[in-house]
Structure 1
Amino acid sequence: MSDITRHTDYREALAAIKQRIQSSQTRAVLAVNTELLGLYWDIGRQLDAWQRERAWGSAVVGQMARDVQASYPGMKGFSRTSLFAMQQFHAFFSPQFEVVPQPVGQMPDGQLLKQPV
């Protein structure tokens, strides 16, 4: 142990740096997970919309999985099963997270102009 490591203020500084590193790592993991959930949600939403709007059958999901995997060899998480799971993820949670218009958007036209100045 060198002389500097024996000092309380050094150990406190080291602990602060280690805490900062841990905090950054945690925030990075949360940011990545948030982005992945958004990606999975959007892929599920898009697949569902395309199947409904274009009358595509469920076989398109398998083809889409093969094409995505061919475009990104070695990347995991985009198999046929995973794409179906993304659709289920979106279908299950979408009713709970529908976008509700802001109150001002629900007011009749011109309502904002009639308010006193």
Structure 2
Amino acid sequence: MEFVKNFNSQFAEVVNMIRNARYKAIKNVNTQLIELYWKIGNYISVKIENEEWGKSVVSNLASYLEKTLPDSTGYSAQNLWRMKHFYETYLQYPKLSTLLRELGWSSHLHIISKTKSIAEYKTKLIPRKVLQKKLHELFLLNEENKKDRK
């Protein structure tokens, strides 16, 4: 019996390694998406500012992306405008750039929609360590729920 307990303990360590790697992978994907949305927002902002594009061009871009990348979602005209707004909102605040990558897209949209200024936005941000701990706890809870469903 002790032999089985010893293996279970060792196996649990491997499970934790897998869970930690999954958490890091999800976090990296989020960072890449936020950077992509920033770049798209920048691109659209510059095109509109230089009067190369109007509102209808953003809708055309959304349609083009839908046809060209049918397996991708999140590039509706409304979301493209949100990316532009996201970029323009934080462009003047380079100190926030690290924090921007720590939050998911929906969190950014929620905070932006509920705040009137960057100063107010900054007060709603959670310190990085606290955020990382909460995200990790949520990830582990999600893994537990998946295990319970099986």
Normalised by the length of structure 1, the TM-score is 0.74
Structure number with bigger Rg: 1
Match of 2:117 in 1: none
Helix, strand or coil for the counterpart of 2:24?
helix
Tell me the amino acid that sits aligned with residue 34 of structure 1.
T
Q: Partner letter of residue 45 of structure 1?
A: N
Aligned residues: 95
Unaligned runs of 5+ in 2: 96-150
SS in 1 for 2:91: helix
Question: Which amino acid letter does the alignment assign opposite residue 51 of structure 1?
Answer: I
Question: What residue identity is the alignment partner of 2:27?
Answer: L
Give the structure with the larger helix fraction. Answer: 2
- Alignment partner for residue 33 of structure 2, among 33, 36, 42? 36
Q: Secondary structure at the match of 1:78?
A: coil
TM superposition score normalised by structure 2: 0.59
Secondary structure (helix, strand or coil) at the match of 2:42 reads helix
Q: CA deviation at 1:54?
A: 3.9
Whole-angstrom distance in 1 between the partners of 2:62 and 2:85: 15
Residue 12 of structure 1: CA displacement? 1.5
Distance 1:46 1:15 in 2: 47
Quick one: percent identity of the two aligned structures?
24
Deviation at 1:10, TM superposition (A): 0.7
The answer on 1:97 being equivalent to 2:84 is no
What corresponds to 1:67 in structure 2? Answer: 64
Alignment root-mean-square deviation, CA: 1.7
